[in-house]
Chains A and B, each alone.
Chain A
Amino acid sequence: MQSEVLTPAKTEEVLDEGSGHGGPPGGGDFGGGDSRPWSVPARAYRTGMWMALVGITMLFAAFTSAMVVRQGISNDWAHTTLPRVLWLNTAILLASSATLELSKRVLATNDFRRFTAWLDVTAVLGLAFIAGQLLAWKELRGRGVYLATNPSSSFFYLLTAAHGVHLVGGITALFYLVTRARVGASRQIGTLLPIDGGRPVGASLEGQVVPGLRTPVEVTAIYWHFMDGLWIYILILMMTRL
């Protein structure tokens, strides 16, 4: 049974065609004489995610510019030595990106067990990263370096916390994916489980237990890798500036 489970959702592939098919002049993507129900294309989710990442980029750009200005205008900036556990955390986070990528790959090969296993590993690595960050905070606290001790430590806590909150969002998404995959698999029936909430995805999903999982996995992966890259950026920023 399980080999059938993870056949990539056909509906999404159909939807991905986008504006490719003929029709009246101009762009646009939907409609036309076909009787297919209206639906939200998978790429809308990717667009939405990329836009969310643009917003997050602006957030951290604002923090960065505040940091550069705050450091430049005053003479009260004291160096904050980064806790060494950050390097371990970095390795853990990079590894989590790799495991998520593995999970994405096995999704295509229909190996349900390995798919959820890699997702689990990714989520655990994510949690380990958060735990590691808390250890870093604990180390600073041990040194007597708190949020308000110095502008430099203020930015350390601010940047790590802001990144951590976003990563927790990613971990939540991973748990959601795992749960959804397991619930879908346990039903072992071809019900329609579209992802958009509100509109049906399509009627051609019979025989698939976890239809429409490809897009959420893909979108979560975009987010997760971005958080990875964002952390590297923050790390470099802190190494060069704090």
Chain B
Amino acid sequence: MADMHVAAVHAHAAPSGFFRRYIFSLDHKVIGIQYWLLGLLAVLIGMALSLLVRFHLVWPDAQIPLLHLLSPTGGKGDQMQPEYYLSLLTLHGTLMIFFVLTTVPQSGFGNFALPIQIGAEDMAFPRLNMLSFWTTFVGMVVLLSTFFISDGPPLAGWTAYPPLSAIGPATGPGEGLGQTLWIVSIAIFCVGSLLGSLNFIATTLDLRARGLSLMRLPLTCWAWFITAVLMLLSFAVLFAAGVLLLLDRVGGTSFFIPAGLVVSDQLVNHAGGSPLLWQHLFWFFGHPEVYVAILPGMGITSHIISTFSRKPIFGYKAMIYAMCSIGFLGFMVWGHHMFVSGMSPYSGFAFSVLTMAIAVPSAIKTFNWIGTMIGGKLRLVTPMLFAIGFVSLFVTGGLSGIFLGQPALDLTLHDSYFVIAHFHMVMGVAAIFGMFAGTYFWFPKATGRMMNETLGKVHFWLTFVGAYGIFMPMHYLGLEGHPRRYSTLTGVEFLNTPHLMHLHEFMTVSAFITAAAQLLFLYNLAWSWFKGPEAGENPWEATTLEWTVPSPPPFDNFAGRHAVVYRYPYEFSVPGAEKDYIMQDAVEEAKKKK
């Protein structure tokens, strides 16, 4: 530890070695990009898994070339075994939820932009920041290592419900070492997230530039701050649940395993535990986690919509209070994931009412986004398109939540494709659109170069239409009774009707087209990084502090200058002003007014 003080003496100079600069960097911008790249790797693997799964659903007997290389047993004869389908599904969910939706919007964009937006040189604890990233990295390595063990990845789903997840190899391939590694991976991820979140909170509270009061913070910063609070409160609970589950597996305890359980004709030597206890602990984390995934996207969307509507955000304070109440209510509604667990109807009613209550702040946000755009001088550049796409997907996905939030309806819809449609729309794709919006928006700041607009727009439209093509039909399938998690549905008579199977085919084809469209994005990214036109300091004519520094920003962000904030973050189209935007640190105009 002592060396860090010596290192700290070399104040403002950027580290010169490759490793200190790009690998074990203390620079929040580099760490943000590292998180982003980790998320990119995770999303590519997660997407590939979803394509395998979708392919198998439609053509269960078709051979998938080289599948046996991925798993000799799970892909025997290049055909996907039912258990392996579940393993791929589990890894898809785990990678996407933890290493994409939790990692990129918060840790990726937050690390990159938060310190600059608040006028700081770095996060409050740079070493802790580096540690958070590398902890998360190790978590992902452990998770992916399950592909390379003999019985493959676990198959208990990303929610890892016991007793399936708690007993061991007897319950299926991957439920031995694979499931243990899964728990270890998630526990490591929890630690990284907790360290990251306390860093975000301390940074936001204590490192703001002079003049930057809380009510002048960009909405992005508010979103990252609230998300950090949610992470701090929820990931510790998941960690606790993970410890208990691990002890059930390796320590012989019975926290979650009930008595009298017979697996493969063998009586399980545990008694007295409750699988429901896991569900309560898990969803106490799991529901706030949904908002961890979506809140940063909301912040980014608000920021971008205001910027490209050339109008102040409609209802700035209402946006903040709405995010706070979404965060607060997010901790009160975990029971709506458990309506069919046999809970008391009174509890169900309470959870249902609280769930419905979230519609209020969500609607406030939606109306404010639309209100911001109405009458604005819209600039429909790629980040703006993705932000509008975010609003669309959030509304579509949110509406189906109103159905699922009612116990009576959830009884039939639970564990059907309707649920898959709901959460993919509202938290999966919407959050991904938030990430795309953020990527197109901050790419010029991070690299100093613009991304190609034409490619960006084509990418947007293909992804937008494709996402609806994949997930809209799922609502209908769910209403028809298609259950989740089944590797083949062709054997079930009432589901094996041509019109439903054609819908499935349509969704799978949509998925492949949408995935192919992402190649455009990757190409655009790689090409623009090296060959894109110079971006300059403020290509979007935005107002916040990150656009007052060069692109890419110097190591210490403000090159020794102290940023001072005089203004609210969204001063667009101010009457009488020279230009249609005024930077947050613009002092002259402020003095003139006085």
Using a CB–CB cutoff of 8 Å, the interface residues on chain A facing chain B are 19, 23-34, 37-38, 40-41, 43-45, 47-48, 51-52, 54-63, 65-66, 69-70, 73-77, 147-148, 151, 154, 158, 162, 176, 179-180, 183, 191-201
Structural contact, B564 and A195, CB atoms closer than 8 A: no
Tell me whether A25 and B5 are in contact (CB under 8 A): no
Q: How far is the CA of A192 from the CA of B6 in the complex (A)?
A: 8
B88 at the A/B interface (Cβ < 8 Å)?
no
| CB pair A147 B2 closer than 8 Å | no
Q: How far is the CA of A151 from the CA of B206 in the complex (A)?
A: 44
Q: Which residue of A lies closest to B558 (CB)?
A: A38
Most B-side CB within 10 Å, residue of A31, A47, A154, A180: A31
In the bound assembly, the distance between CA atoms of A201 and B8 in angstroms comes to 9
Confirm or deny: B101 has a beta carbon within 8 angstroms of a beta carbon on chain A.
Answer: no
Q: Known: A32-B564, A66-B281. Contact between A26 and B11, CB under 8 A?
A: no
Of B5, B128, B211, B280, the contact of A24 (CB 8 Å cutoff) = B211
B residues within 8 A CB of A148?
A: 251-254
What separation, in Å, do the CA atoms of A29 and B563 have in the docked complex?
11
Instruction: Determine if A31 and B281 form an interchain contact, defined as CB atoms under 8 angstroms apart.
Output: no
Instruction: Give the Cβ gap from B392 to chain A, nearest Cβ, in Å.
Output: 35
Query: B residues near A, CB below 8 A?
Result: 1-2, 4-5, 7-9, 11-12, 26, 119-122, 124-128, 194, 197-199, 201-203, 205-216, 232-237, 239-241, 243-244, 247, 251-255, 259, 271-274, 277, 280-281, 284, 556, 558, 560, 562-566, 587, 590
- The answer to whether B210 touches A51, judged by C-beta atoms less than 8 angstroms apart, is no
Give bound CA distance, A163 to B326, whole Å.
Answer: 33
Q: List residues of chain B with CB within 8 A of the CB of A193.
A: 5, 8-9
Q: How far is the CB of B340 from chain A (nearest CB, A)?
A: 19
CB-defined contacts of A192 to chain B, threshold 8 Å: 8-9
Separation of A59 and B241 alpha carbons in the complex (Å): 9
Also in contact, A198 and B562, with CB within 8 A (given A30-B210, A38-B121, A66-B281): no
B213 x A51 contact (CB < 8 A): no
B259 to chain A: which residues have CB within 8 Å? 76
Contact A38 B564 (CB under 8 A): no
Q: Which of B119, B206, B212, B590 has the most CB of A within 10 A?
A: B206
Say whether A44 contacts B8, CB under 8 Å: no
Contact in complex: B236, A56 (CB < 8 Å): yes
Q: Tell me which of A59, A196, A201 contacts B240 (CB under 8 A).
A: A59
Tell whether, in the assembled complex, residue A44 and residue B207 are in contact, meaning their CB atoms are under 8 Å apart: yes
Instruction: Point out the residues of chain B lying under 8 angstroms from A63, CB to CB.
Output: 240
Q: Return chain A residues, CB-CB under 8 Å to B211.
A: 23-28, 31
Alpha-carbon distance A15/B477, docked complex (angstroms): 61
Cβ of B202 and Cβ of A31 under 8 Å apart? Answer: no
Q: Taking CB as reference atom, which chain B residue is nearest A191?
A: B9
Q: Is there an interface contact between B566 and A24, defined as CB atoms closer than 8 Å?
A: yes
The answer to whether A66 touches B7, judged by C-beta atoms less than 8 angstroms apart, is: no
Other than A55-B235, A154-B254, A198-B26, give 19 A-B pairs with Cβ distance below 8 A.
A26-B216, A26-B565, A27-B213, A32-B564, A40-B124, A40-B206, A41-B207, A44-B124, A47-B206, A54-B233, A62-B236, A70-B272, A154-B251, A154-B253, A158-B244, A194-B5, A197-B8, A198-B122, A200-B8
Partner of A199, one of B11, B215, B272, B273: B11
Residues of B within 8 A of A45 (CB): 124, 202
What are 21 A-B contacts defined by CB distance under 8 Å?
Answer: A24-B211, A25-B566, A26-B215, A27-B212, A27-B214, A40-B125, A45-B124, A47-B201, A48-B201, A52-B198, A55-B198, A55-B235, A59-B239, A66-B241, A147-B252, A147-B253, A151-B254, A179-B2, A196-B8, A198-B26, A198-B126
Whether the Cβ atoms of A74 and B7 lie closer than 8 Å is: no
Given the interface pairs A154-B247, A198-B7, the reply to whether A58 lies near B233 with Cβ below 8 Å is yes
Name the contact of B209 in the complex, choosing from A31, A62, A151 (C-beta under 8 A).
A31
Query: A29, B206: Cβ atoms under 8 Å?
Result: yes
Q: Is the CB of B2 within 8 A of A29?
A: no
User: Given A28-B210, A31-B211, A59–B11 Cβ distance below 8 Å?
Assistant: no
Contacts of B127 in A (CB 8 A): 197-198
Residues from chain A with a CB closer than 8 A to the CB of B1 are 176, 179-180
Residues on A with beta carbons closer than 8 Å to the beta carbon of B5? 180, 193-195, 197
Closest to A54 in B: B232
| Chain A residues, Cβ within 8 Å of B207 | 29-30, 40-41, 44
Residues of B within 8 A of A19 (CB): 210
> Are B240 and A44 neighbours in the complex by a CB distance under 8 Å?
no
Select which of A69, A147, A179, A195 is within 8 A of B251 by beta carbon.
A147
Q: Which residues of A contact B216 (CB under 8 A)?
A: 26
User: What are the 9 tightest A-B residue pairs by CB atom distance, in nearest-first order?
Assistant: A31-B562, A148-B252, A62-B240, A27-B213, A26-B213, A58-B236, A51-B198, A74-B272, A44-B206
Task: Collect the chain A residues with CB atoms within 8 Å of residue B209's CB.
Answer: 28-31
List of A residues within 8 angstroms of B124 by Cβ: 40, 44-45, 47-48, 196
The answer to whether B119 and A30 have CB atoms under 8 Å apart is yes
Give chain A nearest CB distance to B144 CB in angstroms: 26
Contacts of B247 in A (CB 8 A): 147, 154, 158
Contact A44 B281, CB 8 Å, known A198-B26, A198-B122: no
In the assembled complex, the Cα of A29 lies from the Cα of B214 at a distance in Å of 11
Roughly how many angstroms separate A116 CA and B256 CA in the complex, as a whole number?
47
Provide the bound-state CA to CA distance between A25 and B243, in Å. Answer: 48
Which of A23, A31, A62, A69 interacts with B563 by CB under 8 Å? A31
Is A51 touching B201 in the complex (CB atoms < 8 A)? yes
Name the contact of B11 in the complex, choosing from A23, A70, A77, A200 (C-beta under 8 A).
A200
A55→B281 CA distance, assembly (Å)? 15
A225, B215: Cα distance in complex, Å:
35
- Complex Cα–Cα for A183 and B6 (A): 12
Query: For A40, what are the chain B residues with a Cβ–Cβ distance below 8 Å?
Result: 124-125, 206-207
Closest Cβ–Cβ distance, residue B152 to chain A (whole Å)? 28
CB-based nearest A residue for B278: A66
In the complex, what residue of chain B is closest to A59 when comparing beta carbons? B236
